[in-house]
């Protein structure tokens, strides 16, 4: 057992030798400590670095719903960990009864947040383990726990591949990448998706700086992306969301890289609300607009953006900030957590298998078909 962020970390979840778990010594997003899932409470960043100790699935669901953990890949890993806790806490030695009760737990986990497809993907992957599992309950519990550890390590390896492919898109010499929300290490098991492109580009010797949209209403750009990049030693400036037009009109951004919570099969992309506005400005000013996401974020059952459920959250997230009311008393709020960027505004989708280009109906279908025939048996099983 080793130490990370002042806590004991389960080294079984690490990738292979020579692969750092988090870049620049960044604080981990989530990890196993014995039989407890430790989740970094991102609501308290950057002022405090606090971990939530989760010993049952209900606590993990609470962390997902309240955004203590957020970002599609991180939510997927958290779901797998939460299901491992659920399996541990099901008090029966009868295999049929265990499976019946575990399926109910999976159904509850699926409902934690509606937009991030990685949540449902992770639930299905874990549930599918029981098809070929040994008949002993103890073996089922161990298999589910081990799968959550594998998924964490896989996520980091996938993110590193995304970073390596995306780094090739960053211009040589000095350049500036604009990003929206947080699609970094904090949004994943480690290393990030959009910010993985930055980390890999800098490791390749490119001089990259970042403009981080503040990302109202919960300020994930100002609080999380800026904090993470400062931790990693990457120059970053925070901009108000409404400044993206003037930033691009003055040539201050060379390209945009954002993450995704769900990608439809036609290339429409659901991401943090405000991403659509960034894409519109990028198209207007001729700035390449890239989406960085693992193949698991592409939903094979979603034909287009019209079929992506968009979460609506509490009005208080808009009318108040940090516990202090901003809006006039009596005023309501519109609080869509995500929006959908149409595929025709997306220059390319950076995945662990490479950069997918239009026409997305063809390139995404080919990528998902390749994912299903992956040589990795767990990836195959997870996409049944």
Catalytic residues: 261
Pairing of strands 207-213, 236-239: parallel
Under DSSP, is residue 65 helix (H, G, I), strand (E, B) or coil? helix
Give the 3-state secondary structure of 95-157: HHHHHHHHHHHHHHHHCCCCCCHHHHHHHHHHHHHHHCCCCCHHHHHHHHHHHHHHHHHHHHH
Start-end of H helices in the chain: 57-65, 72-89, 95-110, 117-128, 137-167, 194-203, 220, 226-232, 244-249, 275-285, 316-319, 360-372, 377-382
Tally of residues, the chain: 384
How far apart, in whole angstroms, are the C-alpha atoms of residue 60 and residue 82?
6
The alpha carbon dihedral of 275, 280, 284, 287 has a sign of: positive
Pairing of strands 324-325, 174-179: unpaired
Return left, alpha or beta for 176; rule: phi > 0 is left, psi -120 to 50 is alpha, else beta.
Answer: beta
Going from the C-alpha of 293 to that of each of 19, 272, 284, 290, 321, the distances in angstroms are 20, 13, 24, 10, 29
**Bond prior to 46 in cis (omega within 30° of 0):** yes
Q: 381: which DSSP letter?
A: H
8 A C-beta contact, residue 97 and residue 110? no
What b/e sequence results for 189-221 when a residue is b if at least 16 CB atoms lie within 10 Å of its CB, and e otherwise? bbbbbbbbbbbbbbeeebebbbbbbbbbbbbbb
Q: Give the pair of three-digit tokens for residue 197.
A: 């492109």
């Amino acid at each position: 057992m080793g130490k990370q962020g002042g806590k004991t970390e389960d080294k079984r979840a690490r990738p292979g030798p020579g692969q750092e778990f988090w870049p620049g010594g960044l604080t981990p997003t989530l990890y196993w400590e014995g039989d407890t899932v430790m989740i970094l409470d991102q609501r308290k960043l950057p002022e405090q670095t606090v971990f939530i100790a989760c010993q049952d699935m209900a606590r993990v669901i609470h962390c997902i719903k309240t955004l203590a953990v957020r970002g599609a890949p991180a939510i997927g890993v958290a779901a797998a960990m939460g299901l491992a806790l659920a399996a541990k806490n099901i008090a029966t030695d009868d295999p049929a009864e265990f499976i019946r009760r575990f399926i109910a737990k999976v159904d509850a986990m699926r409902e934690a947040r509606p937009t991030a497809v990685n949540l449902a993907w992770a639930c299905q992957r874990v549930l599918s383990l029981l098809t070929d599992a040994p008949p002993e309950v103890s073996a089922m519990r161990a298999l589910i726990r081990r799968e959550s550890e594998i998924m964490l390590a896989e996520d980091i390896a996938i993110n590193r591949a995304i970073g390596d492919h995306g780094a090739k898109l960053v211009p040589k010499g000095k350049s500036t990448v604009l990003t929206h929300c947080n699609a970094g290490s904090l949004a994943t098991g480690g290393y990030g998706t959009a910010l993985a492109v930055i980390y890999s580009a800098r490791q390749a010797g490119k001089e990259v700086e970042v403009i981080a949209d503040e990302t109202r209403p919960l300020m994930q750009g100002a609080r999380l992306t800026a904090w993470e990049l400062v931790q990693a030693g990457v120059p970053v400036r925070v901009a108000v969301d409404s400044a993206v037009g003037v930033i691009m009109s003055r040539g201050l951004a060379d390209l945009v890289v954002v993450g995704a919570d769900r990608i439809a099969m036609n290339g429409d992309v659901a991401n943090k609300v405000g991403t659509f506005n960034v894409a519109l400005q990028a198209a207007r000013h001729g700035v390449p607009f890239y989406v960085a996401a693992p193949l698991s974020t592409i939903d094979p059952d979603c034909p287009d953006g019209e079929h992506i459920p968009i979460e609506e959250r509490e009005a208080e997230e808009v009318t108040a900030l940090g516990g202090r009311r901003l809006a006039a008393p009596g005023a309501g709020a519109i609080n869509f957590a995500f929006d959908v960027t149409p595929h025709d505004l997306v220059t390319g989708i950076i995945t662990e298998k490479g950069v997918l280009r239009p026409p997305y109906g063809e390139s995404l279908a080919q990528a998902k078909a390749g994912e299903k025939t992956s040589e990795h048996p767990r990836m195959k099983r997870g996409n049944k």
